[in-house]
Amino acid sequence: MRIDLHTHTVASDGTDTPAELVAAAVAAGLDVLAITDHDTTRGWAEALDARPAGLTIVPGAEFSCVYYDPTGRRVSLHLLGYLFDPDDPALRAERSRLRESRLVRAEEIVRRLAADDFEITWEQVGALADGATVGRPHIARALVAAGVVPDVSAAFSELLSSRGGYYVRKADTDVFDSIGLITAAGGLPVFAHPIARRRGPVVGDEVVAAMAAAGLVGLEVNHPDHDADDREHAAGLARDLGLIGTGSSDYHGTNKTTRLAACTTDPEAYERLLALPAARAPVGP
Ligand SMILES: [Zn+2]
Ligand SMILES: [Zn+2]
């Protein structure tokens, strides 16, 4: 069984439509695919409609969270939530608060760039998002189209990085609140890429332990941003804390170079995940 539990579509910052993602999963030889767009369940229906008979789909989402350490240092974290009730009122309210703040944030970034005479407009960026929540990848593509930078990764490294002058911070959910929200909605919270240092500061093992005590059920061990040492460390931590170790590609279509199924979840770990009580079941054979 080949299982990939973390992927993105055009519903957030991927480039495949949910139907294209499902087709790509079959082409990659996957038996189980989780669809986990950032802070939205918008892609679920299309993915389920397009599901071929042999594929199992695990509906989920990747929730943007934040942790403040005792010194006030801010660490941004991602939680995968699987099999939760998408209509849970508390979760719904938090998601719409985040979407609203994302939009305000993206508008502010575009406003600052335009003020410095980069020739992009909010209308252009919105058109590139094509109905999805506007984010930095869309702003990056507008900058490429305007000839400001040669490609999307240059846009990120030169203009849109968190160290640059055009960066506007996101209003994310406290990670412990998020674990509570996902759990209360009948979902299974798993800490995504817990030690991916390339993305910025990461939390220490003691924070992961506190998250486990708060109801976290799993840790993403095999992830393209984890090297061999990171994976070994995460696997040991999962074992010590009684967490399920998962593996996933974090596929984004052509927005990132990682292939679908580049990292996968052990079938035994997947069985342990499914044995936990959840609001819904995976959809599949
Ligand atoms: Zn992530
Ligand atoms: Zn992701």
pLDDT tens digits, the chain, 285 residues: what are they?
999 999 999 998 899 999 999 999 999 999 999 999 998 999 999 999 999 999 999 999 999 999 988 888 889 999 999 999 999 999 999 988 888 888 899 999 999 999 999 999 999 999 998 887 788 889 999 999 999 999 999 998 899 988 888 988 778 899 999 999 999 999 999 999 999 988 888 999 999 999 999 999 999 999 999 999 999 999 999 999 999 999 999 999 987 788 999 999 999 999 999 999 999 999 999
Ligand nearest to the CA of 77: 1
Domain that holds residue 124: 105-160
The reply to whether 35 falls in a domain is: no
Give pLDDT, residue 73. Answer: 85
Number of domains in the chain: 1
Distance 270 CA to ligand 1 centre (A): 20
Ligand nearest to the CA of 196: 1
The reply to whether 10 falls in a domain is: no
The reply to whether 179 falls in a domain is: no
The reply to whether 190 falls in a domain is: no
Which CATH number is 118's domain given?
A: 1.10.150.650
The reply to whether 127 falls in a domain is: yes
Distance 233 CA to ligand 1 centre (A): 19
Q: Among 134, 140, 101, 96, which Cα is nearest to 118's?
A: 140
Give pLDDT, residue 169. Answer: 79
Distance 67 CA to ligand 1 centre (A): 15
Q: Tokens 């590609």 — which residue?
A: 249
The reply to whether 141 falls in a domain is: yes
Ligand nearest to the CA of 192: 1
Distance 116 CA to ligand 1 centre (A): 30
Ligand nearest to the CA of 12: 2
Distance 116 CA to ligand 2 centre (A): 31
Give pLDDT, residue 265. Answer: 98
| 119-139: burial string, b at 16+ Cβ within 10 Å, e else | ebeeebbbebbeebbbbbbbb
The model carries a pTM of 0.83
Ligand nearest to the CA of 251: 2
Give pLDDT, residue 75. Answer: 92
The reply to whether 120 falls in a domain is: yes
Distance 4 CA to ligand 1 centre (A): 14
Distance 193 CA to ligand 1 centre (A): 7
> For residue 164, how many C-alpha atoms fall within 13 Å in the half-sphere facing its CB?
14
Give pLDDT, residue 161. Answer: 86
The reply to whether 212 falls in a domain is: no
